[in-house]
Structure 1
Amino acid sequence: MIPGNWLVEAIGYLAAAANVFVFVSNTMIPLRIAAILANALFAAYFFLKGYYPLFALNAFMAPINIFRLRQMQRLIRDMRSATSAASGGEFDYEWLRPYMKHLALPDGLTLYRKGDLSEEAYILVRGRILLRELGVTLEPGAFFGEMGLFTDENRRTATAVAVSEVALLSVRYDELLELAAQNPQFGFYLMKLMMKRMQHNVELARSCSDA
């Protein structure tokens, strides 16, 4: 039995209200949810009215908006994972390997000095690296050397010395920026890591001035 005209019109008004919310929403998740609801209601309204081309359009758009919603939810989960990694968790760098080259350093070799021109960032695969001015020893899995990308004239902010036999993966800054643009999780990880490093530098400067 086809619903009465009042119910059909009510569905239409609800669809219109959901569509208005789509245009006034400031964030993507509520926007996609409202778009899915609007598509479903419009599809029902146009089907009951007999406007089949418009029904087909909304029936086609609903799965697209569901797919986009799932993409956005997955992106948010990835960003949260990146935040955890930058806060001290382990960052999975395996996907970066095809874009990087291998380096091996003997114990005691200086990789770079503070003030040197910087063009590459590194992942420590094996061994330990001492950041001399910061008094920080990096362990395998650490991502470092990226700070020079954001300093004046791309200069190193600390001296990096191998304190054991070291295996590294290196990536050039131009490729690093391209990867950050292509992979939001990595870009967000990089941003959080930089903020953590800058905060550490500020705390180190304060402790030196108080000494």
Structure 2
Amino acid sequence: MNWVEAIGYAGTVLTVAASAMSTMIPLRIVALVASCVVITYGVLIGSMPVVLTEAIQIPFNAWRLFQMVRLVRDVGKAASGDLSLDWLKPFGTTRRFKAGETIFRKDDAADEMFTIESGVFRIPEHGIDLGAGDVVGELGMLSPGNKRTGSLVCVEAGRALCLPYSEVKQLYYQNPEFGFYFLKLTSERLFQHAESFPAESAVKPIPVTADVL
């Protein structure tokens, strides 16, 4: 085996290794290296189809790598900052809702979360009104049986970005670091909501009269 064949075998090993990886960032990096090695081999043996095939794959792998690195960076900033979910916009679709429309009810099966873009929405069980920038429905992904923990009603017509849980799960499986930050993000939002609830369960002092004494 000469050195040209060695380069070809190295490209094959790297390509197989990339296909066997389960996390997206290492996969894209190895795939890019494999393409460069295989292109070198194709040039050395004078095979333009090999060179062309790998040259086409490089921009796709580079773009996907950039997207995932940017996604992890943005969700990391959100988890340590203002808890914004704007970075999820490329993965969802915007829907319009009419005043009086019920988006979902408590104990319904949950399969998507919402980022409100305009209008006013209400969680009637807790008397909480939500507006632009608020997120609702993310806890259904973490609740037992993926059930809604409350209802959501549109009070004033508006729009909301709808993100299926399947997209969030796919991003999690592609990069565990994203999953960690997203879990941290939803947990902090849960604590924020808990702190905003009125202290209805506060124990009131029992008046003591002379008869009791």
TM-score bracket for the superposition, by shorter chain length: 0.5 to 0.7
Cα 1:124–1:204 shift into 2, 3 Å: closer
Tell me how far apart the structure 2 counterparts of residues 164 and 179 of structure 1 sit (CA, whole Å).
32
- 1:144 is aligned to 2:141: no
Cα 1:164–1:77 shift into 2, 3 Å: closer
SS in 2 for 1:85: coil
SS in 1 for 2:107: coil
- Runs of 4+ in structure 1 deviating by more than 6 angstroms, as ranges, are none
How many angstroms does 1:192 deviate by? 3.1
Counterpart code for 1:83 = S
CA contact (8 A) 2:79 2:185 kept: no
Partner of 1:129: 121
Partner of 2:152: 160
Within the candidate set 76, 80, 83, 1:83 is matched to: 80
CA contact (8 A) 1:83 1:188 kept: no
How many angstroms does 1:110 deviate by? 1.1
Partner of 2:86: 92
Counterpart code for 2:96 = A
How many angstroms does 1:107 deviate by? 0.9
How many angstroms does 1:140 deviate by? 1.4
Counterpart code for 2:76 = M
Partner of 1:102: 94
Partner of 1:45: none
Partner of 1:48: none
How many angstroms does 1:152 deviate by? 0.9
Tell me how far apart the structure 1 counterparts of residues 78 and 189 of structure 2 sit (CA, whole Å).
18
Partner of 1:34: none
Partner of 1:56: none
Tell me how far apart the structure 2 counterparts of residues 165 and 186 of structure 1 sit (CA, whole Å).
33
Partner of 1:176: 168
CA contact (8 A) 2:108 2:148 kept: yes
Cα 1:107–1:209 shift into 2, 3 Å: same
CA deviation profile, 1:176-196 (whole Å, cap 9, x unmatched)? 111244467754553233223
The structure with more helix, counted as a fraction of residues: 1
Tell me how far apart the structure 2 counterparts of residues 204 and 172 of structure 1 sit (CA, whole Å).
27
Partner of 1:207: 199
Q: Please, which runs of 5 or more residues in structure 2 have no aligned partner?
A: 1-68, 204-213
CA contact (8 A) 1:82 1:185 kept: no
Partner of 1:26: none
CA deviation profile, 1:90-149 (whole Å, cap 9, x unmatched)? 4423x533x322311101211111111111111212212112223322221222211011
Q: Please, which runs of 5 or more residues in structure 1 have no aligned partner?
A: 1-71
Cα 1:85–1:188 shift into 2, 3 Å: farther
Cα 1:79–1:132 shift into 2, 3 Å: same
Tell me how far apart the structure 1 counterparts of residues 144 and 75 of structure 2 sit (CA, whole Å).
31
Tell me how far apart the structure 1 counterparts of residues 95 and 86 of structure 2 sit (CA, whole Å).
19
**Sequence identity (%):** 28
* RMSD across aligned positions (CA): 3.1
SS in 1 for 2:153: strand
